């Protein structure tokens, strides 16, 4: 998975190129959260690209530098290659695939209780960057070009993007309860407005709606890949509650926590859209 992922990011095909620039722009911020140091962002990004290769900080640093060295010289196996310059803004390439993203998410949240509906819809206000869905549709496009020579994202691949955003949001609702946070994305948190008990239930509801949407795709491999994300999120959050005495162990622990809390969702959502390209 790690090797495959790195190969994707080195590629010069349009969607892969966009994917790479998107990661380079967002990578250092991913998983940095409120407690983690932003200085380690680069190493974190590298871990995200190839976690099995790194376990200690000096190694990470050298591999990270090597990564930056090699990105410009690699070529892609895809016959349709273009220069990176043409697709500088990945958000432009994936934007049409994500049109009505939040409306479609709200359609998944079939809640009859007005208050629960308001709570569940609270963060799907269209003000987020939709970074995760964007990266998922770019990966879908890249895979489709490689496998079927098709420039379109399939409906089920778009569903994966929607599900990824729903799982992510559910986890944030729960995380704010755990952290007793009072603001997120410039507004009050769900727990701050409605209280902790209702916030936990709202997070549960978003997660259950995501599970229903996942089951609707009807592919057991995709179900298993995305279910792994939920397990990783919980384990990652749990790891964050502990620490290690030794510095190297502490950094390994930090990387493991970060992979599970942040990278797993992105990597496994990208993995999930690749299975669609093998369907007839």
Task: Kindly list the residues in this chain that would bind ligand FPP in the complex (CB under 6 A).
Answer: 33-34, 167, 170-172, 174-175, 178-179, 181, 203, 207, 230, 233-234, 237, 261-262
Stretch that binds Mg ion, among 81-89, 179-187, 228-236, 249-257 (CB under 5 A): 179-187
Report in angstroms how near the CB of residue 246 gets to ligand FPP at its nearest: 23
Structure tokens at 98: 């994500």
- How far is the C-alpha of 74 from the C-alpha of 157, rounded, in Å? 28
Q: Please give the Cα distance from 209 to 207 (Å, whole number).
A: 5
> From ligand FPP, Mg ion, none, which one binds at residue 76 (CB under 5 to 8 Å depending on kind)?
none
Q: Between residues 17 and 236, which has the closer beta carbon with respect to ligand FPP?
A: 236
The yes or no reply on residue 232 touching Mg ion (CB under 5 A) is no
Residues 6+ apart with CB under 8 A from 26: 131
Nearest approach, Cβ of residue 185 and Mg ion (Å): 12
Question: Cβ closer to Mg ion: 44 or 175?
Answer: 175
CB of 194 to ligand FPP, least distance (A): 16
DSSP H helix total and E strand total for the chain: 14, 2
Tell the smallest beta-carbon distance from residue 237 to ligand FPP (Å): 4
Distance from C-alpha of 120 to C-alpha of 206, rounded to nearest angstrom: 6
178 binds, among Mg ion, ligand FPP, none (CB under 5 to 8 A by kind): ligand FPP
Ramachandran area for residue 116 (φ above 0: left; ψ -120 to 50: alpha; else beta)? alpha
**DSSP summary character for residue 38:** G
For position 118 contacting Mg ion by CB under 5 A, the verdict is: no
Query: Residue 12 binds which entry of ligand FPP, Mg ion, none, with Cβ cut-offs from 5 to 8 Å by kind?
Result: none
Tell me the C-alpha distance between 54 and 43, whole Å: 9
In the complex, the smallest distance separating the C-beta of residue 172 from Mg ion, rounded to whole angstroms, is 7
Give me the half-sphere count of Cα atoms (radius 13 Å) on the Cβ side of residue 201: 11
Residue 213: both structure tokens together: 């949407």
Positions that interact with Mg ion (CB under 5 A): 175, 179
């Amino acid at each position: 998975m790690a090797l495959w992922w790195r190969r994707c990011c080195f590629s010069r095909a349009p969607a892969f190129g966009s994917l790479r620039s998107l990661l380079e722009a967002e990578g250092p911020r991913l998983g940095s959260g409120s407690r983690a140091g932003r200085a380690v962002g680069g190493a974190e990004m590298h871990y995200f690209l190839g976690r099995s290769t790194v376990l200690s900080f000096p190694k990470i640093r050298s591999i990270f530098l090597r990564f930056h060295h090699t990105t410009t010289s690699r070529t892609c196996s895809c016959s349709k290659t273009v220069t990176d310059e043409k697709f500088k803004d990945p958000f432009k390439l994936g934007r049409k695939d994500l049109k009505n993203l939040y409306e479609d998410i709200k359609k998944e949240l079939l809640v009859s209780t007005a208050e629960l509906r308001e709570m569940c819809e609270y963060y799907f206000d269209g003000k987020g960057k939709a970074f995760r869905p964007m990266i998922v549709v770019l990966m879908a496009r890249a895979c489709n070009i490689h496998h079927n020579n098709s420039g379109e994202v399939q409906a089920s691949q778009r569903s994966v993007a929607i599900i990824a955003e729903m799982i992510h949001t559910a986890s944030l609702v729960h995380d704010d309860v755990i952290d007793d946070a009072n603001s997120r994305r410039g507004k009050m948190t769900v727990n701050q407005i409605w209280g902790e008990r209702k916030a936990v239930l709202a997070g549960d509801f978003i997660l259950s709606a995501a599970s229903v949407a996942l089951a609707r795709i009807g592919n057991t491999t995709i179900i298993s890949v995305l279910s792994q994300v939920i397990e990783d999120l919980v384990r990652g959050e749990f790891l964050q509650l502990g620490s290690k005495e030794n510095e190297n162990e502490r950094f390994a622990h930090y990387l493991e926590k970060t992979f599970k809390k942040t990278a797993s969702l992105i990597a496994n959502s990208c993995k999930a859209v690749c299975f669609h390209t093998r369907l007839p």
